[in-house]
């Protein structure tokens, strides 16, 4: 009766819809490596989408045409030349998992409704906890992204260390901490003045002696220091704060340590990453962002808490209409650890690709990113006129052109435009200690040595042009 009930396609119709969608995806993804940024006509096409909801339906073909065009008319953000911000590259296996999760439409937040799926998600979270080096007592949740993970981390820190009284609370960050920490602190009900900025060393990492002193002074002044947010991979330069030292200070002062590993955490799979993030296992909570370093499509972040019961205490509420729900057992009720109740089955997006490809495939890809960043650093350092002050600990290289005279920031803005005009690579910029810097962040599984060599050439050529223009 497919025509009487259009919301209930039959098997043949479902296969046809799915096949058309997969055809689109396979074609689009196959073109990614050689595609550039293409925004020509995108705004006009977007304005054509402002329309009232149609009363009658159209064909799948017509709908897919819009989806296809929308994907094409965009930045090639999943491509091998994307070095701006923190690129997310989007594993196909994870997209398939997302489809299956939606198609089976199970309710994973309460284990008794679908024990195997709830266990799959719990297992995926456990894999992340193993990577961090957390004990069995650890619990965690998959979230929509890094920001919501930091948010729940800070809510847990607040509940554990401050209880209901937020007066005088102080939390410590640095200039290099991602703004997710400040935003989360605000959302968690803390005033702006509760967030203190600890100075950084020349390496742009937290100055631990200054932290120690500030905490002691704030406490002596009658304030209530309760949390430090340290970075395992800063957004500007990929630097890692001295986590073991900070953990020691936090223990001494009884502060909660949250480590933001949204960008850098996945590198724990590699030997170099582990060495850089030594001490991360001592953190009370950790943010990871599988839609960055695990190459998943957007929409998957993670929060891990070493003493898992703290996460539950900060997020669990009893409600009469949930009285039929089974208590947590071997498998947790994920909603009791989360700001969310109903939500998608995120675990499959992580679990399926790891099962299918094995962790080794991820480790190899991440090691390759570390090598490529090191290569870019070495090559750029050799270019006259370019300054590359910080050797990459992970996969971000910040650099700038230093003109013989004139406005360096303006010159670097022009340099950025020249580089991005190539269409082959895309960089973004930032301000570090008041100066304009360009950044290369290598994190796409599609980026290999050939594109990195091309990137260096493009940058060299742009610098040469800039020098002859000046």
Ligand X SMILES: *Cc1c(COP(=O)(O)O)cnc(C)c1O
HEC secondary structure over 14-40: HHHHHHHHHHHHHHHHHHHHHCCCCCC
Cα distance between residue 237 and residue 262, in whole Å = 14
Answer yes or no whether residue 260 interacts with ligand X by CB under 6 A.
Answer: yes
Q: How far is the CB of 265 from ligand X (least distance, A)?
A: 9
Q: Which two tokens stand for residue 319?
A: 């409600």
Smaller CB separation from ligand X, 91 or 331: 91
Cα distance between residue 130 and residue 35, in whole Å = 37
Residue 444 near residue 420, CB atoms below 8 Å: no
Answer yes or no whether residue 400 interacts with ligand X by CB under 6 A.
Answer: no
Cα distance between residue 228 and residue 248, in whole Å = 12
- Hey, how many other C-beta atoms are within 10 angstroms of the C-beta on 226? 23
Answer yes or no whether residue 273 interacts with ligand X by CB under 6 A.
Answer: no
Q: How far is the CB of 52 from ligand X (least distance, A)?
A: 32
Q: How far is the CB of 298 from ligand X (least distance, A)?
A: 8
Smaller CB separation from ligand X, 81 or 153: 153
Q: How far is the CB of 261 from ligand X (least distance, A)?
A: 7
31-70: contacts with ligand X (CB under 6 A): none
Smaller CB separation from ligand X, 117 or 238: 238
Q: How far is the CB of 214 from ligand X (least distance, A)?
A: 22
Write the DSSP symbol of residue 299.
Answer: S
List 79, 140, 146, 347, residue binding ligand X (CB under 6 A): 146
List 190, 235, 352, 394, residue binding ligand X (CB under 6 A): 235
Q: Which two tokens stand for residue 440?
A: 């290369």
List 89, 147, 205, 333, residue binding ligand X (CB under 6 A): 147
Residue 336 near residue 316, CB atoms below 8 Å: yes
Q: How far is the CB of 262 from ligand X (least distance, A)?
A: 3
Smaller CB separation from ligand X, 178 or 306: 178
Answer yes or no whether residue 80 interacts with ligand X by CB under 6 A.
Answer: no
With residue 3 as reference, give the H or E element that holds it: none
161-190: contacts with ligand X (CB under 6 A): 178, 180
Answer yes or no whether residue 310 interacts with ligand X by CB under 6 A.
Answer: no
Residue 399 near residue 411, CB atoms below 8 Å: no
- Strands 224-231 and 301-305 turn out to be unpaired
Answer yes or no whether residue 262 interacts with ligand X by CB under 6 A.
Answer: yes
Answer yes or no whether residue 289 interacts with ligand X by CB under 6 A.
Answer: yes
- Single out the segment in contact with ligand X by CB under 6 A; choices: 19-27, 122-130, 145-153, 246-254: 145-153
Answer yes or no whether residue 145 interacts with ligand X by CB under 6 A.
Answer: yes
- Say how many residues touch ligand X, by CB under 6 A: 12
Residue 200 has, within 13 A of its CA and on its CB side, a CA count of: 18
Smaller CB separation from ligand X, 147 or 338: 147
- Ranges assigned E (strand) in 165-288: 169-174, 195-198, 224-231, 256-261, 285-288
Q: Which two tokens stand for residue 311?
A: 């996460």
- Single out the residue of 415, 399, 400 nearest to residue 467, CA to CA: 415
List 79, 81, 84, 301, residue binding ligand X (CB under 6 A): 301
Answer yes or no whether residue 365 interacts with ligand X by CB under 6 A.
Answer: no
- Single out the segment in contact with ligand X by CB under 6 A; choices: 73-81, 144-152, 238-246, 323-331: 144-152
Write the DSSP symbol of residue 403.
Answer: -
- Ranges assigned E (strand) in 119-233: 139-143, 169-174, 195-198, 224-231
Q: How far is the CB of 353 from ligand X (least distance, A)?
A: 18
Q: How far is the CB of 180 from ligand X (least distance, A)?
A: 4
With residue 370 as reference, give the H or E element that holds it: helix 359-381
Smaller CB separation from ligand X, 145 or 279: 145
Q: Give contact residues for ligand X (rule: CB under 6 A).
A: 86, 145-147, 178, 180, 235, 260, 262-263, 289, 301
């Amino acid at each position: 009766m497919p025509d009487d009930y259009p919301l209930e396609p039959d098997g043949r119709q479902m296969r046809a819809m799915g096949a058309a969608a997969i055809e689109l995806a396979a074609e689009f993804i196959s073109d990614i490596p050689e595609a550039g940024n293409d925004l020509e006509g995108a705004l006009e096409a977007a304005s054509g989408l402002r329309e009232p909801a149609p009363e009658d339906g159209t064909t799948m073909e017509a709908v897919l045409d819009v989806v296809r065009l929308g994907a094409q008319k965009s930045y090639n953000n999943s491509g091998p030349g994307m070095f701006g911000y923190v690129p997310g590259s989007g594993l196909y296996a994870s997209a398939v998992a997302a489809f299956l999760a939606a198609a089976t439409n199970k309710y994973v937040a309460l284990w008794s409704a679908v024990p195997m799926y709830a266990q799959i998600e719990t297992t995926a979270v456990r894999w992340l906890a193993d990577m961090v080096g957390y004990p069995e007592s650890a619990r965690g949740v998959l979230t929509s992204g890094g920001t919501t993970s930091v948010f729940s981390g800070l809510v847990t820190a607040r509940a554990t260390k401050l209880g209901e009284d937020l007066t005088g609370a102080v939390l410590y960050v640095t200039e290099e901490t991602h703004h997710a920490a400040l935003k989360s602190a605000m959302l968690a009900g803390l005033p702006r003045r509760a967030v203190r900025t600890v100075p950084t060393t020349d390496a742009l990492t937290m100055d631990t002696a200054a932290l120690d002193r500030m905490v002691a002074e704030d406490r002596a002044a009658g304030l209530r220091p309760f949390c430090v947010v340290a970075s395992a991979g800063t957004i500007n330069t990929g630097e890692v704060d001295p986590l073991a030292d900070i953990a020691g200070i936090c223990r001494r002062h009884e502060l909660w340590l949250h480590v933001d590993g949204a960008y850098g955490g996945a590198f724990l799979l590699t030997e170099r990453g582990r060495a850089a993030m030594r001490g991360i296992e001592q953190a009370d909570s950790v943010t990871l962002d599988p839609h960055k370093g695990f190459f998943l499509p957007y929409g998957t972040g993670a929060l891990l808490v070493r003493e898992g019961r703290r996460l539950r205490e900060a997020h669990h509420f009893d409600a009469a209409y949930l009285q039929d729900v089974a208590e947590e057992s071997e498998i947790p009720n994920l909603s009791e650890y989360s700001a969310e109740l109903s939500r998608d089955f995120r675990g499959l997006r992580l679990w399926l690709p790891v099962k299918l490809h094995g962790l080794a495939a991820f480790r190899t890809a991440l090691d390759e990113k570390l090598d490529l960043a090191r290569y870019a650093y070495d090559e750029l350092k050799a270019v006259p006129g370019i300054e590359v002050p910080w050797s990459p600990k992970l996969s971000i290289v910040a650099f700038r052109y230093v003109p013989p005279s004139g406005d360096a920031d303006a010159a670097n803005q022009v340099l950025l435009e020249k580089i991005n005009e190539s269409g082959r690579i895309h960089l973004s910029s930032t301000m570090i200690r008041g100066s304009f810097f360009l950044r290369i962040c290598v994190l796409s599984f599609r980026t290999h040595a050939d594109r990195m060599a091309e990137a260096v050439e493009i940058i060299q050529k742009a610098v040469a042009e800039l020098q002859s223009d000046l």
